[in-house]
Amino acid sequence: MPLSSELTLASSPRAAADARRWVSDVFERLERDDLVECAELGVSELVANAVLHATAPFKVRVRGTVSHPRIEVIDGSTSPPVPPVPLAGDDLDLLLTFGRGLSMVAQCATAWGATIESDSKIVWFEPAAQMSDEGGAEWVIDVHDQHAPEPISDTAVEVRLLGLDVPLYSSLARQYHELRRELRLLSLSHQSDYPLAGDLTSMFANFERQFPDAFSEQLRAAERDSRPRVDLIFPMVREAGPIFVTMTEMFDVADAFCRAERLLSMARTPAQRALQNWLLTELVQQLGGASAQPWDAQGHTKPSTSQVG
């Protein structure tokens, strides 16, 4: 079982125990035995809270880095959890109040918070070496700001991505979204330890701004219609070319970090990498005046007489 895997939990009273055993095993494999006690306590509370107050599916996974591992509990609800009201360390009411679980998580954590996705939420915490006698770590809000696309000039190039594999691209988009969130959280919680995470977060935001709304709209329509392939046609400024060259290299760097477990996230699969390299190469070449070359399943292009512009 790779460290970047996740565990799907049953909607039953045994879910917390299953999560506790699984997390303990992962942390022992990470050689972070010093964090096991708080990891077990925190994940038990989060899973119990999810099963009681949220909806399936329920999952638990470990992300972050070996130095700063993070436990995430995912459920099918988009309702945000309510952070506990700070209480005195010796307040016995803490053991009696509704919301005790999140108070316990705060005391077991060096950082914690939540991310609300379109169809789910992720509540996460970084386990501490020992439980705090005070109120615990503060709540961290993880917000992915949507950046407006760069304005399209009159000199923009019409780009054609021909025969794009829609299911494969959708899986790549999910992998990218998780990597993007991972870097954003590291930048948010540990900027001094991982300054590169902040730099890459800014680079990713600039990368995303280069894609006009027409790109996303055509993809969403293809996904909604369950189309296996789609031809995308959209305008793009020539100045974006160097950004895509740089990002090709940055995605390979991120994969290397994941494979070396410097990031406990999933690297791209060979098929995802091939598709992304084809896409970025097409953007660079077409912005430079080349003709569009369709994608094929082997990860290379087929000759095409289609012309750009």
Residue 136 pLDDT: 72
Alpha carbon distance 1, 7 (integer Å): 10
Q: How far is CA 85 from CA 111, 139, 156, 269, in A?
A: 16, 11, 53, 43
Model pTM? Answer: 0.83
Residue 296 pLDDT: 87
Question: Which uninterrupted H or E stretch holds 294?
Answer: none
Rounded (5°) CA angle 6-11-13: 105
* Beta bridge pairs of residue 126: 111
Residue 256 pLDDT: 93
Q: What is the mean pLDDT of each run of 10 residues along the chain (309 residues)?
A: 76 93 95 96 94 92 94 91 57 41 87 88 94 77 68 86 98 95 88 87 93 96 97 96 96 92 90 98 97 79 41
Three-class secondary structure of residue 23 per DSSP: helix
Please, are residues 275 and 260 in contact by the beta-carbon 8 Å criterion? no
Alpha carbon distance 40, 25 (integer Å): 10
Residue 117 pLDDT: 86
- CA dihedral sign, ordered 60, 250, 180, 234: negative
Residue 123 pLDDT: 93
Chain centroid to CA 54: 21
Is there a cis peptide before residue 69, judged by omega within 30 degrees of 0? Answer: no
DSSP string, 148-190: PPPPPPTT-EEEEEEEEEHHHHHHHHHHHHHHHHHHHHHHHH-
Please, are residues 236 and 157 in contact by the beta-carbon 8 Å criterion? yes
